[in-house]
């Protein structure tokens, strides 16, 4: 986790995961969900005027659905195409 401005707090209530993001630091976080579903990601720190908009969704998939999703994604690094003269 990283922050460029103030202390934020990554929070997924249902998974009991909470970790602060501190400006100028890279903070690793590891958790292992045990149930598929959609979970709200919120900032649990009153961090400024835009705090109420700091939300996201964590999508946890079963292994077969995750593998299908991975296979649908474009390659991360594609081979450069030969230049035409």
Per-residue pLDDT of 56-77, as tens digits, reads 999 999 999 999 999 998 887 6
pLDDT band of residue 36 (cuts 50, 70, 90) is very high
Strands 8-12 and 37-43: antiparallel
Give residue 26's pLDDT band: very low, low, confident or very high (50, 70, 90).
very high
* pLDDT for res 27: 93
Q: Which carries the bigger pLDDT value, residue 51 or residue 20?
A: 20
**pTM for the complete prediction?**
0.71
The confidence score (pLDDT) of residue 80 equals 63
Q: Taking a C-beta distance cutoff of 8 angstroms, is the pair 11, 18 a contact?
A: yes
Give the separation between CA 10 and CA 8, rounded to whole angstroms: 7
Which DSSP category does 60 fall into? Answer: E
């Amino acid at each position: 986790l990283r922050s460029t401005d103030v202390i934020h707090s990554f929070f997924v209530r249902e998974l009991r995961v909470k970790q602060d993001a501190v400006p100028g630091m890279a903070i690793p976080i590891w958790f292992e969900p045990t149930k598929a579903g959609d979970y709200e990601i919120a900032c649990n720190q009153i961090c400024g005027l835009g705090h109420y908009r700091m939300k996201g969704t964590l999508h946890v998939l079963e292994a077969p659905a995750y593998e299908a999703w991975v296979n649908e994604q474009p390659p991360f690094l594609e081979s450069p195409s030969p230049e035409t003269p």
